[in-house]
Amino acid sequence: MKLLIYDFCVSMLIFWVLCMNIAASYAFPNRNHFDVLDFGAINKISDDSSQAFLDAWGTVCNSEFENPTLLVPKWHTFLVNPIVFSGPCKPETINFEIQGEIVAPPLPSAWEKHDASQWLAFKGVSGLRVYGSGRINGQGFGWWNQSCKYHPGTSGCTKLAPTAVKFLRCNETSLSGIQFINSSQTHVTLFGCDEFRINALSIDAPGNSPNTDGIHLQHAHNVIITNTMIKSGDDCISIRDHTSNIDISNITCGPGHGVSIGSLGRGGSYVQVQSIHVKDVYFKGTTNGARIKTWQEGKGFVQRVIYENLFFNSVKNPLIIDQNYGAVKKGRVKENMGVWISDVTFKNIYGTSASKVGVNLNCSESIACTGLTLDSIMLWPALQLEEVTSYCSNAYGLAIGVVQPPSCLQDTSNVARIVDVLMHVRG
Q: Which sequence positions are flagged as catalytic?
A: 257
Give CA–CA dist 270/277, Å, rounded: 22
SS3 284: strand
CB 32 within 8 A of CB 69: yes
Query: For residues 324 and 344, what is the distance between their CA atoms, to the nearest angstrom?
Result: 17
List the one residue out of 313, 223, 307, 303 whose CA is nearest residue 264.
303
Q: How many CB atoms lie within 10 A of CB 392?
A: 19
Contact (Cβ atoms closer than 8 angstroms) between residue 253 and residue 283: yes
DSSP structural state of residue 219: S
Rounded to whole angstroms, how far apart are CA atoms 397 and 394? 10
What gap in Å lies between CA 308 and CA 277, rounded to an integer?
A: 8
DSSP one-letter code for 48 = B
**Distance between CA atoms of 395 and 363, rounded to whole angstroms?**
6
Kindly report the three-state secondary structure assignment for every residue of 116-162: CCEEEEEECCCCEEEECCCEEECCCHHHHCCECCCCCCCCCCECCCC
Interatomic CA distance for residues 319 and 368, integer angstroms: 17
| Bridge partners, 389 (sequence order) | 357
